[in-house]
Chain A
Amino acid sequence: MDCLVCHDTTGTYKKAPPKAGWPDKKVNLKYVAENVGHTSRRSCGSCHFNGGGGNAIKHADMGRNLLQPDPDCDIHMGNLDFSCAECHTTRQHRIAGRSSSVAAVEGVVQCADCHSNTPHFGNKLLDHHLNKHCASIDCNTCHSPVYAKCVPTKLWWDWSQAGDKTRQPVMQYFGNSKKGYPDYHVKKGAFRWGRAVKPNYAWFNGDMQRMVLGDAANLNAAAIELTRPVGSILDPKSRITPFKLMKGVQAFDVKYRTLLVPHLFPRGKDDTTAYWKVFDWDKAFADGMRSANLPYSGQFIWKETWMYWRVEHEVMPAKMALTCVNCHQSFRQEKTCDRCHRDNRQVDFKKLAQHVADLTSLQGKIPGIEALQQQSDYIDFKALGYRGDPVIYGGRTTTLPLGRSDTAPTDK
């Protein structure tokens, strides 16, 4: 058991790569042990910021930038110095929090735990409407309108391309940064990276549907969804939630229709099956599936796989949230709040409805972010099951009054 990896406060503790979990010989263990303390962004991040084999590759909203975060990237950590465990509360070493990619759950963390179900306050005209939105819209839909804000993340990972020793990686660049991100690695295949990416939006009630090891997939599908959010426009508990959709290409067994697990890391000098040594997928799958106690027919097929990863962290400052007009296209027209409310000389409805997010402090930091201000129908109402802008056609629970739709939305 390694207490220090989580409870180190000195930043000097590290593990030794060839020793599978043992600490590096150079670490002064006595010094680290004498300075133990609570977990921190650094200790949690030493594993979780590196999911997928590097910084923010897997979790678009968790990267090493959160060690010393910019408040514009993450308001909780950057402005208020939150540690992970302040939200992911822990009891008897069981750490609360659901993961999109992994099934194990030891408690649920929600924004509402601190912010309540009526988080918009100030008695301002908008707050009533914003709070009503909370029943149907996840906080981060508005409060984190793009993911991978501060560091790029991987969006596409094609394993079938791996093994071409002659292929040279082409670098992908973002904004003014000189740091390039390679589109190829001989051991891992082809990649595509993204920065400040618009999420995919889906109805989500907190549960995931997921393929687990040994599950048979539908090989005729255009893409096989390894995880998918559970939810529906008709389910009152579902809310429109932002996801990073990670796409890739992976191998499936033709006969058993299972996702194949390759043996990648060589076990030693005389390993003859590891893909990262001999670059033979057939041998790697045969060995990997044997280790997983699952059958392998010897025939495999490359298929596109999708995974939904919820965008939960890196909440932006409130002034940068999506505004009414970003989603409600109808507010760009002549009538705004006065569709329902009597005109009021003391309130400029148009100004209120057409207000845009203040992104000035992000200019230069996040390439292309200014375009957000001009967006309309940002979350794509029709794709979510609405007939169109709910201001015109009615929401999922409102039907007849005030000249709204007489047709209930349908589940897509």
Chain B
Amino acid sequence: MRQIHLQILMLMVLTCTYTTWVYAATTGEQWVAPAQEKALRRAQAVVPMVKEVKQEGAIRRSQRLHALGVSVRDVKDSYFVLNSPFIKAVEDHYGAVRFNHGQHAAESGDCTICHHLRAKTATPAKNGDKPLETQRCSACHQQAFNPDYPERLGLKAAFHQRCIPCHEQRHKGPQTCRGCHLNNVPDHKKLVKLPDNADALQVTAECLRCHETAANDLQHSAHWLWRGPSTHTQDHENSVRHGKGTTALNNY
């Protein structure tokens, strides 16, 4: 068994080295993912605040928009990220949240679930402009606890109060914090205490100084044990002994 393990390990080690080398050789100009880049830029924009909203009951508004023929077909951008400066100005614990706008519009079938009110007059006000039926969340929800608008939720609360109950009631989409939010990793330059010529064992010991639980978790994982539950292998559904380090066969 050790033999197989060693062979795989050697193969991995060889290829890992090669990867690093190729990567360094090919990184020239800055690569960007176009849609993500666009969404991140858009999330930075701050729009003028809607000061007054049209008072309209939820059902009446839903019926009126349906009668107008407003539907998922009117969705111009199907992908956003939620990463507003209004929230970042107060706290910065998490990365941008992906939001599939088109999918949400299609699943709910009713724009007014999120776009629950609209501006009374066009914002920014221009002569003859009709107010938009739907605007981005941050057109109304900006800083929290703004004394000029005591009835308005801040943007963070608006997101959470809209997203969480809906995901929970419909049993759809992420229902945990980490399902939407990837935490920012704290700057480890301030945390890591290592000598300049630290060796591998010193590094691991230093990681474990804080992350002992993580280390314990890892040692129970398939990536450490090279075996694990084979719940989706026919006739071996109840076993935990199969894996790359134990019984896996292949033809390469």
Contacts and interface: CB of A to CB of B under 8 A. Distances in A.
Contacts of A12: 20
Contact of B13 (A21, A38, A213): A21
Contacts of B150: none
B19 A64 contact: yes
Interface string A101-130: 111111010000011101101110000000
Interface of B: 1-4, 6-7, 9-20, 22-24, 26-27, 31-36, 71-73, 79, 98, 100, 102-103, 105-107, 172-173, 178-179, 182, 185, 188-189, 192, 194-200, 202-204, 206-208, 211, 214-215, 217-224, 226-236, 239, 242-244, 246-252
B36 A79 contact: yes
Contact of B219 (A1, A55, A68, A247): A1
A80 B23 contact: no
A296 interface: no
B9 to A, nearest CB: 6
B251 A305 contact: yes
A358 interface: no
Nearest to A80: B36
A37 B26 CA distance: 23
Given A3-B203, A79-B34, A103-B243, A116 B107 contact: yes
A36 B185 contact: yes
Contacts of A86: 98, 182
Given A30-B196, A80-B98, A123-B71, A246 B236 contact: no
Given A37-B185, A104-B229, A121-B106, A94 B252 contact: no
A305 B224 CA distance: 29
A226 B249 CA distance: 7
B3 A53 contact: no
Given A47-B16, A68-B31, A208-B232, A57 B252 contact: yes
Contacts of A122: 72-73, 102, 106
A21 B194 CA distance: 21
A106 B251 contact: no
A14 B20 contact: yes
A261 B19 CA distance: 27
A108 B200 CA distance: 33
A93 B221 CA distance: 6
Contacts, number: 273
Given A50-B18, A121-B106, A123-B73, A2 B200 contact: yes
A50 B236 contact: no
B118 to A, nearest CB: 22
B248 A213 contact: yes
Nearest to A78: B33
Nearest to A76: B33
Interface string A21-45: 1111000011011111110001001
B185 A50 contact: no
The 7 closest A-B pairs by CB, nearest first: A121-B106, A291-B3, A104-B228, A50-B15, A81-B33, A103-B242, A103-B230
B171 to A, nearest CB: 11
B20 A246 contact: no
29 contacts: A1-B224, A15-B17, A17-B17, A20-B6, A29-B200, A33-B194, A33-B198, A33-B206, A34-B188, A35-B188, A36-B207, A46-B19, A55-B22, A57-B252, A68-B26, A94-B220, A103-B230, A103-B236, A103-B248, A104-B227, A121-B72, A122-B72, A210-B249, A214-B247, A226-B251, A230-B234, A248-B251, A263-B7, A291-B4
